[in-house]
């Protein structure tokens, strides 16, 4: 058997081939991250007299293409944690850092057999995970644009925030897309404004709301300097927000479609809807058996407490480690903020901790740990969640 270690980079990879005794068969093989480069690697490997095992580090995302092509060709591939190759690198007398030696070290890690395989999710899990992560990014981007839009409205039309229950609801967005400043709102006939609002709200709003908006605009105390520039900036922000909101809807639809193909009861947990359930499921990798207990899942999510000990000192005000998946941690936190008020058992726990003098955010942190235990049990047993008031 031969061991092919690959040091991954963006445009070019470096490979080294060792035999079972650790002898270097190919010291350095540089190949492009392309079809031509892949063929060059496989041509060299096919010269070997017996089976080859490939190994690479799970760094960044550049390894995925090579991994996918090797698996498609039915090759044996091991993806290892970089920490393990770093540990072996420390044993080398000459601490030289170059791609050729790195490739040999990666091959040696697998040759010794002392490594933990990095879990590579199936294609559907990987798709779901990337969709959920991108959705979070789009939501955050939209939130940033909304903050900027509100800052502009506070300057140009400070009274606007009291006109709609949601400044970024459909009716309000449609109004701001067409008439951005008080001057523009006053320049249009109230009947035209009423028709626009009626259409956007599906008949809920009409002439009364149009007249209210114009009355606020008439008495607005907003700045009038550079109003044309402010209007252009605000209108562009509104258009981007509308586009992002549309993207979120498209992502939600696709996430729901893929998630529906899995047999899981995560959505029975209070506070966990389809999108959060999909995020949790995908970040875990769809296989709860990766974790022997809920504490290890908590550590993976970064919800486990940090440990502060030195001599006889033991910290008693430890915070979340936040070392694991930020997406999983965020999903659990969001679910916990809902469950704190909607789940009868968790709400009882929430009230108990508040009565002990703990602040709201600290209690939510405790609920996150409980939520991890619930998620672990539901996925392990594949049974619906039922609140247990006796354990609250």
Fold of the CATH domain 2-112: Nucleotidyltransferase; domain 5 (3.30.420)
Residues above pLDDT 70, as percent of the chain: 89
Check pLDDT > 80 for residue 46. yes
* Domain spans, the chain: 2-112, 126-257, 266-391
**81 against 187, higher pLDDT:** 187
Q: What is the pLDDT of residues 236-256, one digit of tens each?
A: 999 999 999 999 999 999 999
Q: Which of 78-92, 157-171, 225-239, 370-384 is predicted with the least confidence, judged by mean pLDDT?
A: 78-92
Q: What is the pLDDT of residues 307-317, one digit of tens each?
A: 444 444 444 45
**Res 391: pLDDT:** 59
Q: How far apart, in whole angstroms, are the C-alpha atoms of residue 172 and residue 166?
A: 7
**Res 312: pLDDT:** 46
**Res 376: pLDDT:** 97
Mean pLDDT along residues 189-195: 96
Q: Which residues of 299-337 are buried (b: 16+ CB within 10 A; e: fewer)?
A: bbbbbbeeeeeeeeeeeeeeebbeebbebbbbbbbbbbb
**Res 80: pLDDT:** 84
Q: What is the pLDDT of residues 291-309, one digit of tens each?
A: 999 999 999 999 877 544 4
**Res 83: pLDDT:** 60
CA distances from 25 to 37, 38, 93, 101, 279 (A): 19, 19, 21, 13, 44
Class of domain 126-257: mainly alpha
Q: 120-125 contacts: CB < 8 A, separation 24 or more?
A: 120/67, 120/79, 121/282, 121/285, 121/286, 122/286, 124/258, 124/261, 125/281, 125/282, 125/285, 125/286
Check pLDDT > 60 for residue 147. yes
Q: How far apart, in whole angstroms, are the C-alpha atoms of residue 1 and residue 51?
A: 5
Model pTM score: 0.77
């Amino acid at each position: 058997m031969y061991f092919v270690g690959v040091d991954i980079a963006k445009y070019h990879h470096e490979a080294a081939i060792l035999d079972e005794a650790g002898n270097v068969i190919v010291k350095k093989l540089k190949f492009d991250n392309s079809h031509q480069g892949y063929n060059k690697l496989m041509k060299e490997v096919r010269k070997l007299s017996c089976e080859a095992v490939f190994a690479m580090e799970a760094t960044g995302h550049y390894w995925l293409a090579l991994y996918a092509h090797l698996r498609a060709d039915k090759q044996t591939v091991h993806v290892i944690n970089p920490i393990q190759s770093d540990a072996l690198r420390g044993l080398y007398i000459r601490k030289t850092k170059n791609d050729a030696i790195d490739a040999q070290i990666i091959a040696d890690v697998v040759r010794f057999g002392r490594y933990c395989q990095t879990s590579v999710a199936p294609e559907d899990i990987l798709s779901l995970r990337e969709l959920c992560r991108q959705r979070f990014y789009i939501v955050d981007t939209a939130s940033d644009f909304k903050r900027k839009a509100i800052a502009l409205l506070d300057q140009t039309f400070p009274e606007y925030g009291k006109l709609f229950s949601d400044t970024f609801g459909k009716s309000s967005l449609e109004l701001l897309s067409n008439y951005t400043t008080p001057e523009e709102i006053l320049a249009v006939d109230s009947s035209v404004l009423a028709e626009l609002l009626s259409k956007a709200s599906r008949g809920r709003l009409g002439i009364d709301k149009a007249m209210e908006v114009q009355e606020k605009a008439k008495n607005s105390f907003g700045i009038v300097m550079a109003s044309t520039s402010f209007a252009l900036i605000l209108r562009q922000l509104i258009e981007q927000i509308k586009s992002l909101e549309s993207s979120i809807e498209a992502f939600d639809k696709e996430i729901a479609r893929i998630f529906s193909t899995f047999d899981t009861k995560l959505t029975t947990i209070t506070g966990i809807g389809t999108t959060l359930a999909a995020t949790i499921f995908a970040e875990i990798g769809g296989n709860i058996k990766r974790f022997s207990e809920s504490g290890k899942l908590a550590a993976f999510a970064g919800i486990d407490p940090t440990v502060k000990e030195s001599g006889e000192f033991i910290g008693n005000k430890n915070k979340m480690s936040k070392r694991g998946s930020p997406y999983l941690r965020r999903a659990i936190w969001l679910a916990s903020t809902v469950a704190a008020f909607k789940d009868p058992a968790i709400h009882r726990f929430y009230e108990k901790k508040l009565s002990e003098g703990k602040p709201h955010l600290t209690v939510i942190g405790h609920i996150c740990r409980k939520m991890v235990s619930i998620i672990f049990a539901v996925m392990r047993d594949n049974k619906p969640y039922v609140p247990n008031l006796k354990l609250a």
